[in-house]
């Protein structure tokens, strides 16, 4: 009788441990997925900015840069361009 109680106790302990382990794994995978999504977004932004930076040094890159700046600066601001 005592051995049956001990066997049931260990079985119950094993089941509870497996449930906790499964939940912890789920939380960990969720966090890793969020980190991966964030990394991919930042990598995409880096590639876009790198491409814009490389275009700045291409032929007529300065003119394209100035056109982009015109869109960023609001219309009622006085612009001074140093040459």
Rounded distance between C-alpha atoms, residue 19 and residue 7, angstroms: 18
pTM, rounded to two decimals: 0.56
For residue 47, the 8-state DSSP code is: H
Average pLDDT, consecutive stretches of 10 residues, N- to C-terminus, the chain (83 residues): 93 97 96 96 94 80 68 63 66
User: Residue ranges per domain, the chain?
Assistant: 2-72
Rounded distance between C-alpha atoms, residue 19 and residue 54, angstroms: 52
pLDDT at site 58: 75
Rounded distance between C-alpha atoms, residue 50 and residue 42, angstroms: 12
pLDDT at site 57: 79
């Amino acid at each position: 009788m005592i051995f049956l109680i001990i066997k049931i106790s260990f079985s119950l302990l094993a089941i509870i441990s497996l449930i906790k382990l499964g939940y912890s794994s789920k939380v960990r995978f969720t966090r890793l997925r969020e980190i991966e999504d964030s990394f991919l977004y930042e990598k995409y932004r880096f590639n876009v900015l790198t491409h814009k930076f490389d275009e700045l040094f291409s032929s007529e890159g300065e003119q394209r840069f100035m056109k982009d700046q015109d869109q960023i600066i609001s219309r009622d601001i006085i612009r001074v361009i140093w040459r």
